[in-house]
Amino acid sequence: KQEVTQIPAALSVPEGENLVLNCSFTDSAIYNLQWFRQDPGKGLTSLLLIQSSQREQTSGRLNASLDKSSGRSTLYIAASQPGDSATYLCAVRGASGSRLTFGEGTQLTVNP
Amino acid sequence: EAQVTQNPRYLITVTGKKLTVTCSQNMNHEYMSWYRQDPGLGLRQIYYSMNVEVTDKGDVPEGYKVSRKEKRNFPLILESPSPNQTSLYFCASSSPGYTQYFGPGTRLTVL
């Protein structure tokens, strides 16, 4: 059974810092990996999707990498802003393409 | 606008009273799923559907039913709700292998 772990559980940084969020998964037979953002009481917004054949994806200040063989992904946020404050979730889709397993998330606070 | 809609957004009910939470998407997606989110347990998949009339259990299907009679709709049915089903529920849809889109969530309280 796939297990997804995110470290750290919470992170507080001053505005402007570059930061890295970590995601690890136990079964490397994945279809893809997706990073989401969730604001309090709201739904999930997709940030980046990395297919199993890809190594990284970039969108603006965000860069996500995938090392399938070691079961790891990182989300890099450059020049953090208070508006980046949210919970960031990593989700892995199994090789069959149907099941999506989530980590518990990293709660990020960016202080002005 | 491409979106996943859920209704109701908030619901308070009593134990044993059947309820249905509707989910609809306008993106012609094949895949649809239901999740529940609980503090300390994260998001867990309840049921998923890979196309019309094709559904399968996720990680926590007990106490829930689903149906997929039309491509755009994927209702979640609680035949006899219990307090342990108090949770935040999300519906999601995607095309195979592509970005998953989530609805805004339904906060359910079962007394």
Sign of CA dihedral A5, A6, A8, A9: negative
Interface contact flag, B43 A46, Cβ < 8 Å: no
Interface contact flag, B105 A105, Cβ < 8 Å: no
Q: The tokens of A32 are what? A: 């893809």
What is the C-alpha separation between A71 and A87, in angstroms, rounded? 21
Whose tokens are 């989401």? That residue is: A36
Beta-carbon contacts of residue B62 (< 8 Å; ≥ 6 apart)? none
Contact call for residues B31 and B52 (beta carbons, < 8 A): no
> In terms of DSSP H, where are the helices of B1-111?
none
What are the pLDDT digits (tens) for B15-35?
999 999 999 999 999 999 999
Q: Please check whether residue A98 touches B, CB under 8 A.
A: yes
What pLDDT score does A95 carry?
82
Q: Is A83 helix (H, G, I), strand (E, B) or coil?
A: helix
Interface contact flag, A100 B90, Cβ < 8 Å: no
Q: Is B57 helix (H, G, I), strand (E, B) or coil?
A: strand
Sheet holding A4-7, edge to edge: A4-7, A19-25, A72-77, A62-67, A56-59
Contact call for residues B105 and A43 (beta carbons, < 8 A): yes
State how far Cα A98 lies from the chain centre. Answer: 19
What pLDDT score does A96 carry?
76
Q: How far is A56 from chain B (nearest CA, A)?
A: 15
The band of A34, judged by pLDDT with boundaries at 50, 70 and 90, is very high
What is the C-alpha separation between B55 and B106, in angstroms, rounded? 21
Q: Please check whether residue A107 touches B, CB under 8 A.
A: no
What pLDDT score does A40 carry?
86
Q: The tokens of A43 are what? A: 């739904």
What are the pLDDT digits (tens) for A40-94?
888 899 999 999 999 999 999 999 999 999 999 999 999 999 999 999 999 999 8
Q: The tokens of A88 are what? A: 């960031």
Interface contact flag, A104 B42, Cβ < 8 Å: yes
Q: How many CB atoms lie within 10 A of CB A22?
A: 15
Q: With contacts defined as CB-CB under 8 Å, which chain A residues touch B99? A: 34, 46, 49
Q: Please check whether residue A49 touches B, CB under 8 A.
A: yes
